[in-house]
């Protein structure tokens, strides 16, 4: 909502996969903590960038080819309507952290 | 078999309407044909969504005289107006159909992601008619709609069905039925994300249409009229909800939090097929006991910030369930005299997997236990030692009902029809109103709720009025000083509460938030659809909807004589705080007359021409 002014679960930077009654898996970017920036290496269009440790999509350049989605070891990038979507930490104030009533989402620096 | 109804391309166009998908999809399973229509702006402004659309389309397209299991009956599914917006706890989806229990009006409102996905796919109403040749599932992926074979899923549980369809179809949200729906158990439910459209046998109607599941993928944006304002309101109500006293209780104990209060402080917790109003053995089924021991995490519906669901992992039995909800703690617990929480949780899991409503299931099992203890049915006939409190017998009876085996085949008809089949004195022990087994409120000590059981359009129901909270506490919304032991002034109270609750089902907002929002939705609706509808305007829409449901029932053959309380409600509660309280036949008649007057209906409960014209719905009743 905050980013795109619409509600669309495929434009969200975090995805919840329901596995079972007791298991919900969160797919979200680790910004290099649990990967080696495979998405940046995979992008041939200079659309996946890093600034202050935050990996984000440059929509000017993104063509929606899906190379980043295939490269990401954490399933944390996805293509929707020919654009890549992922977590960009909401300029340092992640909305998901603010509105998780169960305090289940934390940012570890 | 893979019949493609549509492939690609949106031909619907139409006016831009915020918060809506914009289309109505009708599918005929007999012919395999589908029709998409643009949602009419006028219709949207008169009925808003969810419950409103259900009330309109049930009257418009379903022949009220048709049998629930006829291909001519329809299943209508409509997400609430605010479902899919960031409004906290607005995630509900309403299912409508003729009732498999009483052949009248039925609706059941579900949590889970189904309505959200349907709206993202572009549909505000999904109408399913006809009957597929073979067991099938319907798959909707934005503009593409197809009917596919589900023969390989025959007999599978709701959970397994969803998993298998997800494997084949990818990222879809699945609403499915279990074996009970296939076998036309009259209180079979529909399951999605471990949440159910539980009551009145919508799962059985799906089964009668050879429809095993509906899978939806929706990827469109849901737009609101004023995004910045919507964001601000989301933040405001989020804060309000997490600071509300119910936040901590829901989080720790779920919906059963007030069980002991109902039991000891109010004496209105129905026990052993409504013999008693206090369950002395309640220790284990109280969430204050089981939640710290068995609940491993909280579970929430989509859009909810105050999760009342609990992931319950069993120890003695194998299994896990999203529960156990207050109603089930009564139905499979106190109503069957079962004090073991493991048995209740296992029973809850079996009901969810086979796809049967826990409230009705506990209702029919409590009934057969009552007959058994009173010598009206033998052990040979029941097949188990069906004494109150025998948890193993309760579990075996669930198996029998879901598979329609032995006595289960009789009980699968619901308590009213089962009593008629068994004959003799059995009907005296059958606790139901218009064929529906009641929820966990001993209305002998909550007289307004007794009236609400009679007037609910689907039979004994707590959610159409939600008046239990008002009656038990004595105040809510604009009501104060309400006396639960009195039968005076209940007509207006229940009519107004029904109008109030219809608004919640129309907006798709969870009723557990009714103490937070009340009917102050003007700011929210301004941000959502650009129209700041005030309480008075919403209540007119609520009243219109309640009248339309009743009109449908009248066309289906409803008579005021059907709106009767069961025999047991005329007997006093034997012990506890509400000891001695009961509803007399005179009170029953008086409350019903008061209600008809408050509704502007005639003495037989038929809406007057004046009332119909006032609400602009005269076309629905000739």
Residues B158-178 pLDDT 10s: 999 999 999 999 999 999 999
pLDDT at B8: 35
Is the residue at B226 inside a domain? no
pLDDT at B281: 97
- Contact of A21 with chain B, judged by CB distance below 8 Å, is answered with yes
- pLDDT of residue B13 exceeding 90, the answer is no
Query: Rounded to 5 degrees, what angle do the CA atoms B355, B361, B363 make?
Result: 160
Do residues B423 and B459 both lie within one domain? no
Do residues B13 and B51 both lie within one domain? yes
Is the residue at B227 inside a domain? no
pLDDT at A106: 87
Pairing of strands B123-129, B23-28: parallel
| DSSP helix/strand/coil, B508 | coil
- Contact of B120 with chain A, judged by CB distance below 8 Å, is answered with yes
pLDDT at B12: 43
Is the residue at B244 inside a domain? no
**Contact yes or no for B194 and A21 at CB 8 A:** yes
- Contact of B588 with chain A, judged by CB distance below 8 Å, is answered with no
> What are B257-310's pLDDT values in tens digits?
999 999 999 999 999 999 999 999 999 999 999 999 999 999 999 999 999 999
Question: Which residues, at least 6 apart from B615, have a Cβ–Cβ distance to it below 8 Å?
Answer: B540, B543, B544, B547
- pLDDT of residue A68 exceeding 70, the answer is yes
- Contact of A18 with chain B, judged by CB distance below 8 Å, is answered with yes
Question: What range defines the domain where residue B468 resides?
Answer: 443-620
CA distances to B61, B297, B328 from B514, rounded to whole Å, are 31, 25, 22
**Contact yes or no for B298 and A102 at CB 8 A:** yes
Smallest CA-to-CA distance from B454 within B257, B596, B289 is with B596
B4/chain A closest Cα distance in angstroms:
23
* A11 half-sphere exposure, CB direction, 13 A CA radius: 18
Alpha-carbon gap, residue B604 to B588, rounded angstroms: 14
**Which residues 308-347 of B are in CB contact (within 8 Å) with A?**
311, 313, 320-322
Residues in chain A with CB shorter than 8 Å from the CB of B241 are 101
Do residues B117 and B162 both lie within one domain? yes
Mean pLDDT in residue range B523-545: 98
Is the residue at B434 inside a domain? no
Do residues B338 and B192 both lie within one domain? no
Is the residue at B276 inside a domain? yes
CA distances to B24, B262, B586 from B558, rounded to whole Å, are 29, 33, 21
CATH number for the domain harbouring residue B451: 1.10.599.10
Do residues B302 and B349 both lie within one domain? yes
pLDDT at B9: 34
Mean pLDDT in residue range B248-265: 95
B168/chain A closest Cα distance in angstroms:
16
Q: Is the dihedral of CA B550, B555, B557, B560 positive or negative?
A: positive
Residue at a domain's end among B161, B195, B217: B217
Percent over 70 (pLDDT), chain B: 98
**Domains assigned to chain A:** 15-98 (3.30.70.20)
**Contact yes or no for B320 and A20 at CB 8 A:** yes
Model confidence pTM above 0.90 = yes
For residue B117, give the chain A residue with the closest CA.
Answer: A9
Residues in chain B with CB shorter than 8 Å from the CB of A5 are 223, 227-228
Residue at a domain's end among B199, B217, B235: B217
Q: How many domains does chain B have?
A: 3
For residue B304, give the chain A residue with the closest CA.
Answer: A101
Do residues B177 and B207 both lie within one domain? yes
Do residues B204 and B91 both lie within one domain? yes
Do residues B66 and B201 both lie within one domain? yes
Per-residue pLDDT band at B214 (split at 50, 70, 90): very high
- In chain A, % helix, strand, coil (3-state, to 5) comes to 15, 20, 60
Is the residue at B90 inside a domain? yes
CATH number for the domain harbouring residue B8: 3.60.9.10
Residues in chain A with CB shorter than 8 Å from the CB of B194 are 21
CA distances to B15, B43, B125, B330 from B40, rounded to whole Å, are 9, 5, 12, 43
Alpha-carbon gap, residue B222 to B53, rounded angstroms: 19
Chain A interface test: which of B309, B311, B325 (most A C-beta within 10 Å): B311
Is the residue at B192 inside a domain? yes
Cβ atoms within 10 Å of B133's Cβ, excluding its own: 12
Do residues B112 and B68 both lie within one domain? yes
pLDDT at B493: 98
Smallest CA-to-CA distance from B177 within B238, B95, B252 is with B95
Alpha-carbon gap, residue B78 to B93, rounded angstroms: 6
Residue at a domain's end among B388, B403, B429: B429
Smallest CA-to-CA distance from B332 within B437, B445, B177 is with B437
Do residues B157 and B276 both lie within one domain? no
- Higher pLDDT among residues B166 and B8, named by residue: B166
Residues in chain A with CB shorter than 8 Å from the CB of B193 are 18
Do residues B453 and B382 both lie within one domain? no
Alpha-carbon gap, residue B497 to B470, rounded angstroms: 9
A-B CB pairs within 8 A amount to 60
Closest in A8, A81, A102 to B120, CB measured: A8
Is the residue at B195 inside a domain? yes
Do residues B483 and B601 both lie within one domain? yes
Tokens for B178, please give them. Answer: 């279990």
């Amino acid at each position: 909502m905050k980013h795109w002014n619409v509600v669309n679960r495929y434009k969200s930077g975090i995805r919840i996969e329901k596995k079972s009654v007791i298991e919900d898996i969160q797919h979200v970017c680790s910004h290099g903590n649990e990967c080696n920036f495979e998405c940046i290496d995979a992008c041939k269009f200079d659309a996946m960038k890093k600034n202050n440790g935050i990996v984000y999509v440059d929509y000017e350049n993104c063509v929606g080819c899906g190379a980043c989605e295939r490269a990401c070891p954490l399933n944390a990038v996805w293509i929707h309507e020919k654009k890549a979507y992922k977590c960009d930490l909401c300029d340092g104030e992640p909305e998901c952290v603010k509105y998780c009533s169960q305090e289940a989402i934390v940012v570890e620096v | 078999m893979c019949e493609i109804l549509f492939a690609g391309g949106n031909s619907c166009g139409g006016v831009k309407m915020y918060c809506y998908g914009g289309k109505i999809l009708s599918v005929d399973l007999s012919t395999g044909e589908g029709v998409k229509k643009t949602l009419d702006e006028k219709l949207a402004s008169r009925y808003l969504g969810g419950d409103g659309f259900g009330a309109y389309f049930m009257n418009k397209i379903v022949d009220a005289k048709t049998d629930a299991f006829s291909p001519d009956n329809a299943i209508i599914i409509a997400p609430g107006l605010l479902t899919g917006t960031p409004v906290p706890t607005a995630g509900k989806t309403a299912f409508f159909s003729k009732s498999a229990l009483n052949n009248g009006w039925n609706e059941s409102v579900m949590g889970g992601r189904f309505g959200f996905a349907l709206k993202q796919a572009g549909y505000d109403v999904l109408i399913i008619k006809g009957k597929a040749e073979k067991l099938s599932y319907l798959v909707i992926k934005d503009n593409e709609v197809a009917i596919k074979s589900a023969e390989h899923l025959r007999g599978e549980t709701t959970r397994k069905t969803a998993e298998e369809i997800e494997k084949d179809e990818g990222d879809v949200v699945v609403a499915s039925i279990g074996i009970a729906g296939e076998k036309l158990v009259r209180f079979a439910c529909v399951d999605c994300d471990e949440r159910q459209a539980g009551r009145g046998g919508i799962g059985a109607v799906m089964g009668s249409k050879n429809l095993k599941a509906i899978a939806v993928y929706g990827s469109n944006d849901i737009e609101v009229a004023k995004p910045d304002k919507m964001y601000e309101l989301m933040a405001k109500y989020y804060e309000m909800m997490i600071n509300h006293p119910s936040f901590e209780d829901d989080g720790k104990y779920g919906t059963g939090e007030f069980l002991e209060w109902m039991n000891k402080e109010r004496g209105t917790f129905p026990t052993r097929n409504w013999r008693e109003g206090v369950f002395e053995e309640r220790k284990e089924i109280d969430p204050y006991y089981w939640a710290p021991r068995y609940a491993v995490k909280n579970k929430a519906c989509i859009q909810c910030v105050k999760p009342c669901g609990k992931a319950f992992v069993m120890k003695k039995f194998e299994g896990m369930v999203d529960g156990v909800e207050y109603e089930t703690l009564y139905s499979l617990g106190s109503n069957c005299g079962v004090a073991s929480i493991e048995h209740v949780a296992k029973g809850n899991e079996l009901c969810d997997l086979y796809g049967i409503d826990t409230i009705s299931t506990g209702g029919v099992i409590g009934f057969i236990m009552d007959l058994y203890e009173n010598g009206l049915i033998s052990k040979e006939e029941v097949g188990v030692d069906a004494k109150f409190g025998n948890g193993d017998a309760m579990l075996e009876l669930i198996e029998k009902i879901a598979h329609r085996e032995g006595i289960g085949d009789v009980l699968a008809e619901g308590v009213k029809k089962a009593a008629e089949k068994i004959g003799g004195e059995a009907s005296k022990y059958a606790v139901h109103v218009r064929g529906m087994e009641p929820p966990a409120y001993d209305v002998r000590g909550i007289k307004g709720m007794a009236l609400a059981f009679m007037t609910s359009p689907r039979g004994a129901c707590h959610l159409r009025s939600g008046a239990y909270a008002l009656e038990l506490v004595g105040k809510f919304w604009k009501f104060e000083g309400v006396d639960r032991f009195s039968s005076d002034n209940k007509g207006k109270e229940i009519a107004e509460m029904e109008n109030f609750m219809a608004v919640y089902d129309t907006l798709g907002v969870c009723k557990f938030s009714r103490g937070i929002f009340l009917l102050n939705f003007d700011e929210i609706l301004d941000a959502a659809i650009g129209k700041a509808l005030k309480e008075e305007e919403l209540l007119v829409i609520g009243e219109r909807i309640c009248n339309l449901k009743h009109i449908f029932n009248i066309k289906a053959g409803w008579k005021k004589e059907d709106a009767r309380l069961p025999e047991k409600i005329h007997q006093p509660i034997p012990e506890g705080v509400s000891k001695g309280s009961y509803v007399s036949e005179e009170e029953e008649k008086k409350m019903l007359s008061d209600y008809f007057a408050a509704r502007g209906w005639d003495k037989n409960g038929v809406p007057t021409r004046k009332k119909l014209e006032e609400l602009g719905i005269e076309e629905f009743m000739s």
